[in-house]
Structure 1
């Protein structure tokens, strides 16, 4: 998961540098008034999102599998705890009825 996040951040930073260069070279518009920095960041986000979606497909699938495994383990642990509580509760009730 950390690897995927770092790879997405790398793509964003790469886009940020390229967009910044294009804006200051005059190829891309500078934005309105003092919005130049915000314009560069937003444009970089918009461009890096589809690039990440396509380029990091395999890494995203790996991260997804890891997350699903963790969720399944947590569910199994929760169910095991629930079963232990049910057994303890049934045992306590059985002992209370016999005495």
Structure 2
């Protein structure tokens, strides 16, 4: 999961550098007034999102499998705890009704 996040961040930073270069050289619009830094960030985000979607497909699938396994493990632990609690509750009820 960390690897996927770092790869996404790397693609965003690369897009940010390219967009900044294009705006600095005048090949891309500079934005309105003082909005230049926000314009560059927004443009880099819009460009990096589809690139990440296509380029990181396999890595995203791996991260998804890891998250799914973690969720399944947590569900199993919760179910096991619930079963132990139910058994303890049943035992307490059975012991209390015997007197």
- TM-score for the superposition, normalised by structure 2: 0.99
Which residue of the partner structure matches residue 20 of structure 1?
A: 20
The 2-side partners of 1:63 and 1:19 are apart by 28
Q: Deviations over 1:33-80 (max 9, x none)?
A: 011111000000000000000000000000000000000000000000
Displaced runs of 4+ in structure 1, greater than 6 A?
none
The 2-side partners of 1:30 and 1:93 are apart by 74
Which residue of the partner structure matches residue 86 of structure 1?
A: 86
The 2-side partners of 1:31 and 1:3 are apart by 33
The 2-side partners of 1:93 and 1:37 are apart by 67
Which residue of the partner structure matches residue 6 of structure 2?
A: 6
The 1-side partners of 2:96 and 2:67 are apart by 43
Q: How many aligned positions are there?
A: 99
**Unpaired runs of 5+ in structure 2?**
none
The 2-side partners of 1:77 and 1:37 are apart by 47
- SS in structure 1 opposite 2:34? coil
**Structure 1 segment 1-99 matched on structure 2, within 5 A:** 1-99=1-99
The 2-side partners of 1:75 and 1:66 are apart by 14
